Amino acid sequence: MININDKCIKDKILSVAPDAAFDEAAIFTVTVPAEQYHRLAHCLRYDADMRFDYLLCMTGMDWGDALGVVNLLESTTHDQSLFLKTAVTDRENPEIPSVADIWETAILNEREVFDYFGIRFTGHPDMRRIFLRNDWVGYPLRKDYNADEALNPVRLANEELIDTTTVYEAVAGGKTEAHTRTVFEEGEYVVNIGPQHPATHGVLHFRVSLEGETVKKVDVNCGYIHRGIEKMCESLTYPQALGYTDRLDYLGAHQNRHALCMCIEEALGLEIPDRVKVIRTIMDELQRLSSHLLFWSCLCMDLGALTAFFYGFRDREKVLNMMEETTGGRLIQSYNVIGGVMNDIHPDLIKRIKEFIKYLPPMLKEYRDVFTGNVIAQQRMKDIGVLAKEMAVAFGVTGPSGRASGWACDVRKRKPYAAYDKVQFKEAVRTEGDSFARYLVRIEEIEQSLYILEQLADNIPAGDYAVKTKPVIKLPEGRFFKSVEASRGEFGVYIESRGDKNPYRIKFRSPCLPLVDVVDTLARGGKIADLIAIGGTLDYVVPDIDR
Amino acid sequence: MDVKIKSMKYDDFKDNEALEQLRAAGTNIIMGSLDKLIDWGRSNSLWPLTFATSCCGIEYMAVGAARYDFSRFGFEVTRASPRQADFIMVAGTIVHKMAPVLKRLYDQMAEPKYVIAMGACAISGGPFKDSYHVVKGVDTIIPVDVYMPGCPPRPEALLYALMQLQRKVKVEKFFGGVNRKEKRTK
Ligand code: SF4
């Protein structure tokens, strides 16, 4: 492992970007002017000593005097992370070179930044809005956004879907040229799937270009559940902001909240009692169980096995019961608070967990009997939607879907938090990368979650369930990032604080955005019916994509 | 561990009696009986549109599954096409981009049609009331018959709301006079 603070790395960075500035905070930050940004990004990605191949989180920023992006990069080979920051001062026509040719995941992320801040990325193949309507006035995450309802009333006219997009090309002399590029040609046969369609698992809109039954191209249209959580959080205090994390990916409610709590606690330097860590781990795993059981039920239903849906929900209710007894909520639990958890665990929780550990394995066998071994199910999933490992990293596809492609990306192993360093479990990794592998990884994770629970059930240390915090929580100035392994992948929270009681900017790194991003790659050349199996096994949750 | 739960006293819980009074006025005996027969059939086979945008939708699915099982009341035939559905359960937040879609789905449904607003979001925007992109209540777009508070509402609340809709359907008159005006969008 190399150390990023090494002199030679800095020299290397300075040789490609002479104006780079360094900030050696908790996570190393490099700031470059926009002109040198692309060159440096390229070097960071391909230089043998650095190899930052995983763009974890791209955050658009409005610093008042400048607009820009902050990228959190990680290297899967060297286990390093670094912030790469760039900014421009022009508010009328902000332009930053695109890094979409370096990291595939930047394609959607830069569209998001464009949508929120109006920053145009030169060289980006597709500069359309992604969440908001095309006729939306203004850029909502800018600090000077005009939130007047009269500008953006609820429009009841159908949105015109446009088949073209604009590409901004940087030409000599510091100028930019705009070209029009067609997304769908005139004669193409385009079918809409969604926004209201049972197989998209929520309100997602795919525009699929077909050649007979074969998929030629998929264009994702998000934003049908874009709730503007990040902007709202900017005017809330930290404890208030907690409530919204539960509602992002509601099947990973507890884990999301865990991430935000940990991010704030680390920034404050709060020491968390061991009891809290173990309780949080137990709850995280229960949540994972409930989510994977729901995944199984819904996938089976999508593929036509309706009875299986009832089996899965039957067992999921048992998990919900346990969570409800302790937290009071079935789906949205609001259990984590800054410094601990809301209340102590229910006295019966341990007993119930033990019962459940005995109960579920025979049921899993039943799942295997009714579905996994089924010929039709196997044929619909095997060799369908194969995702190679390099693509998984480039798109930032984490979680069970990334692990099915052979990328050992489990945050619980890579950056252990809570009590995960004290328990043993096997990271479910497969190499096939197809839909069936994604399915099997999740089934194996159910077993591993049970194993983790088994180890923790009798080992909950005594102590407080929360530490006292100040009545008004103010984070010190700086940038903070913390991620957890949510049910669907790496969920991260990026906070930029100016020392106030509310965050200056908060960004949630959604595990599901990369998942819809790869749908196009996976579905191309396949049959339209395979799109359902691909979507089902990727298992995205739409409000988490749109935030 | 004793946890104090603040809740309403059962005696204070008053059901809204007004609906049945609509019936009390009396109708023609033959037409009235025919009405009753039709209402009985319709109220026990209300088919929802499969429509869920976010968190509340998961609870809605849970009610469809074995433990709560809304098929006991005839709600299980969820339709993917609005043309075959009797009511929309708006389960989840409705945002600006979704608003025209919801309106269109509603317009595509055949009369008589009903709307249930499930959860705080559908009622008023709920926790996202201050957002720039959230519709502050679906009743600003389509008329709502039953409001179901909660975030998310418990499955029991959902069943209760469905039964309130049944009550509404049961007092409808198809032959003997009109007590349900053609709905208008606000
Ligand atoms: S009311 Fe609550 S649970 Fe329901 S959709 Fe809104 S935020 Fe989610």
Chain A residue closest to B69 (CA)?
A310
Instruction: Tell me if A536 is assigned to some domain.
Output: yes
pLDDT given for residue A172 in this prediction: 72
CA of A493 to the centre of ligand 1 (A): 21
CA of A288 to the centre of ligand 1 (A): 20
Bridge partners (DSSP) listed for residue A207 = A192, A219
Is the CB of residue B92 below 6 angstroms from any atom belonging to ligand 1? yes
Q: Please write down the HEC assignment for all residues of A21-34.
A: EEEECCCEEEEEEH
A105, amino acid identity? T
Is the CB of residue B93 below 6 angstroms from any atom belonging to ligand 1? yes
Are residues A252 and A106 part of one domain? no
CATH number for position A265: 1.10.645.10
pLDDT given for residue B23 in this prediction: 63
Using CB atoms and an 8 Å cut-off, which of residues 86-125 of chain B contact chain A? 92-93, 95-101, 103-105
* Mean per-residue pLDDT over chain A, rounded: 84
Maximum Cα–Cα distance for chain B, whole Å?
A: 60
* SS3 label, residue A44: helix
In CATH terms, B48-170 corresponds, of 1.25.40.10, 3.40.50.12280, 3.30.70.270, 3.40.640.10, to: 3.40.50.12280
Which range, A192-201, A486-495, B67-76, is most confident? A486-495
Residue A316 scores a pLDDT above 80:
yes
pLDDT given for residue B15 in this prediction: 66
pLDDT given for residue A199 in this prediction: 67
Task: State how far the Cα of A241 lies from the Cα of A238, in Å rounded to an integer.
Answer: 5
Instruction: Tell me if A209 is assigned to some domain.
Output: no
Using CB atoms and an 8 Å cut-off, which of residues 516-545 of chain A contact chain B? 542-543
Average pLDDT over residues A260-283: 87
Are residues A264 and A117 part of one domain? no
DSSP alpha helix (H) spans, chain B: 18-24, 29-43, 55-64, 99-108, 119-124, 155-170
Residue pLDDT, tens place only, A11-63 = 777 877 777 777 777 778 888 888 888 888 888 888 777 788 888 888 888 88
Residue A390 scores a pLDDT above 50:
yes
Q: What are phi and psi of B66, to 5 degrees?
A: -60, -35
Model confidence band, residue B8 (pLDDT cutoffs 50, 70, 90): confident
User: Which residues contact residue A479 at a Cβ distance below 8 angstroms, ignoring those fewer than 6 apart?
Assistant: A25, A27, A29, A70, A83, A494, A495, A496, A497
Is the CB of residue A247 below 6 angstroms from any atom belonging to ligand 1? yes
Is the CB of residue A382 below 6 angstroms from any atom belonging to ligand 1? no
CATH number for position A110: 3.30.460.80
Instruction: Tell me if A221 is assigned to some domain.
Output: no
Is A65 or A170 the better-scoring residue by pLDDT? Answer: A65
B96, amino acid identity? H
Nearest CA of chain A to the CA of B153: how many Å?
A: 10
Nearest one of A162, A257, A246 to A207, comparing CA atoms? A162
Mutation choice for ligand 1 from B54, B89, B135, CB with most ligand atoms inside 8 A: B54
Taking contacts as CB-CB distances below 8 angstroms, the residues of chain A near B129 are: none
- Kindly state the helix (H) or strand (E) to which residue A240 belongs, with its residue range: helix A238-245
Q: Which structure tokens are listed for B17? A: 């009696």
Are residues A132 and A259 part of one domain? no
Task: State how far the Cα of A407 lies from the Cα of B52, in Å rounded to an integer.
Answer: 33
Residue pLDDT, tens place only, A83-138 = 888 888 888 888 888 888 888 888 888 888 988 888 888 888 888 888 888 888 88
Chain B residue closest to A148 (CA)?
B132
CA of B160 to the centre of ligand 1 (A): 18
Are residues A119 and A65 part of one domain? yes
Whether chain A has a CB inside 8 Å of the CB on B130: the answer is yes
Average pLDDT over residues A492-510: 88
* Residues of the domain holding A127: 7-145+163-183
pLDDT given for residue A461 in this prediction: 83
Task: State how far the Cα of A440 lies from the Cα of A449, in Å rounded to an integer.
Answer: 14
Residue A264 scores a pLDDT above 80:
yes
Instruction: Tell me if A208 is assigned to some domain.
Output: no
* Residue ranges per structural domain of chain B: 48-170
Q: Do B151 and A229 touch (CB under 8 A)?
A: no
Mutation choice for ligand 1 from B90, B116, B134, B151, CB with most ligand atoms inside 8 A: B151
Instruction: Tell me if A464 is assigned to some domain.
Output: no
Nearest one of A132, A69, A134 to A100, comparing CA atoms? A69
Taking contacts as CB-CB distances below 8 angstroms, the residues of chain B near A132 are: 96-97, 133
Are residues A179 and A233 part of one domain? no
Nearest CA to ligand 1 atom 8: B55
pLDDT given for residue A1 in this prediction: 36
Angle subtended by helix axes B155-170 and B55-64, to nearest 10: 70
Average pLDDT over residues B156-176: 82
| Partner residue facing B132 (CB), from A140, A247, A313 | A140
Residue pLDDT, tens place only, B47-103 = 888 788 888 888 888 888 888 888 888 887 788 888 888 888 888 888 888 888 888
Chain B residue closest to A249 (CA)?
B55
Task: State how far the Cα of A371 lies from the Cα of A297, in Å rounded to an integer.
Answer: 10
Chain B residue closest to A204 (CA)?
B53
Distance of alpha carbon A2 from the chain centroid: 27
Contact yes or no for A12/A39 (Cβ under 8 A)? no
Model confidence band, residue A473 (pLDDT cutoffs 50, 70, 90): confident
Cβ contacts from A onto B, under 8 A: 131
Residue pLDDT, tens place only, A452-469 = 888 888 888 888 888 888
Chain A residue closest to B96 (CA)?
A154
Average pLDDT over residues A333-360: 87
Instruction: Tell me if A191 is assigned to some domain.
Output: no
Instruction: Tell me if A194 is assigned to some domain.
Output: no
pLDDT given for residue A2 in this prediction: 44
Q: What is the ipTM of this complex?
A: 0.83
Average pLDDT over residues A494-501: 86
Q: Which structure tokens are listed for A33? A: 């002017």
pLDDT given for residue A203 in this prediction: 83
Bridge partners (DSSP) listed for residue A96 = A121
Instruction: Tell me if A341 is assigned to some domain.
Output: yes
CA of B127 to the centre of ligand 1 (A): 8
Least confident segment among A188-202, A204-218, A324-338, A523-537: A188-202
pLDDT given for residue A544 in this prediction: 87
Are residues A240 and A170 part of one domain? no
Are residues A359 and A414 part of one domain? yes
Whether chain B has a CB inside 8 Å of the CB on A341: the answer is no
Share above pLDDT 90 across residues of chain B, in percent, rounded to a whole number:
0
Bridge partners (DSSP) listed for residue A80 = A75
Whether chain B has a CB inside 8 Å of the CB on A237: the answer is no
Is the CB of residue B134 below 6 angstroms from any atom belonging to ligand 1? no
Per the structure, the count of domains in chain A is: 2
Is the CB of residue B148 below 6 angstroms from any atom belonging to ligand 1? no
Whether chain A has a CB inside 8 Å of the CB on B151: the answer is yes
pLDDT given for residue A3 in this prediction: 53
Q: Which atom of ligand 1 is nearest to the CA of B128?
A: 7
Residue A500 scores a pLDDT above 60:
yes
